Amino acid sequence: MQRREFLQSLGLAGLGLSLGTLRTAAAEAAGQEDRQIYELRRYELRRGPMVRRLDDFLAEAALPAWNRAGVRPVGVFDAAVGPENPTRYVLLPCRSLAHWLEARQVEASDAKILSHPFTQAPPGDPPYVRYESSLMIAFAGMPALEPPPQTAAGKPRLFELRIYESHSDRAHRKKVEMFNVGEIALFKRTGLRPVFFGSTLIGARLPNLTYMLVFDDLNARETAWRTFVGDPEWKKLSTTPGYTDAEIVTNITNHLLRPVSSSQI
């Protein structure tokens, strides 16, 4: 079987993944079956029919197919604050790398997905401008996604997606370690409720990690961050040699997101 045929059989050719990157991801995930794998997609759109067509596709075809494949809950978000508008973020939590591959196969072969107007859109009226995807493995300190209580209660919620870049793999691993040994627990104690933490295996601007927090609203976000920053334990941890931002973090990107009506998170 040729390389391209092999990737197509897995539903991966459209992601531009090589066998080398897949082997790297598999090596990173080896022996970590208890930690979830996350795919995070960002769809770049234009105002007009693109937005409605993607939302309809996700609600009518993609989410049901992913759920049948065991991928749940699926998060779908748009930008509440930020320059990327319109855009959509889609978060897919999988049990393992093998489960993620299975979900890709389902997505590539599901009848409702293949027949949906979104998938059938012609070149002159494309379904989106482009989409980017990153593949992450959950942190040992939070091995699985934790759905927000606001979702089950049907309450409004605001999400903060944060990406931390590091200058080297060693520095990146040190920042992940910092979260695992103390920072995640500090988040929870001071009112910063995490949804997931992921170390990026495949994606842009490596090495980096991504995590998501949930709040009732902007006021709750400001209060929680103020409490966290002023906490004595955080001040001690963040000034510990080896854990300072100057040593292990080169850039932080923030996105404030809100769930669309079809989101399960």
| Token output for 131 | 């989409």
DSSP, collapsed to helix, strand or coil, labels residue 157 as: coil
Q: How far apart are CA 66 and CA 40, in angstroms?
A: 14
Length of the chain as a residue count: 265
Instruction: Convert the pLDDT of each residue in 118-133 to its tens digit.
Output: 999 999 999 999 999 9
Calculate what percentage of the chain has a pLDDT beyond 70: 87
Query: Averaged over 212-229, what is the pLDDT?
Result: 98
What pTM did the predictor assign?
0.87
pLDDT band at 84 (very low <50, low <70, confident <90, very high): confident
Q: How far apart are CA 27 and CA 201, in angstroms?
A: 10
Domains and CATH numbers, the chain: 1-137 (3.30.70.100), 139-260 (3.30.70.100)
pLDDT of 162 > 80? The answer is yes
> What was the pLDDT predicted at 28?
54
pLDDT at 29: 53
Residue 73, pLDDT above cutoff 50 = yes
Token digits of residue 157: 């919620």
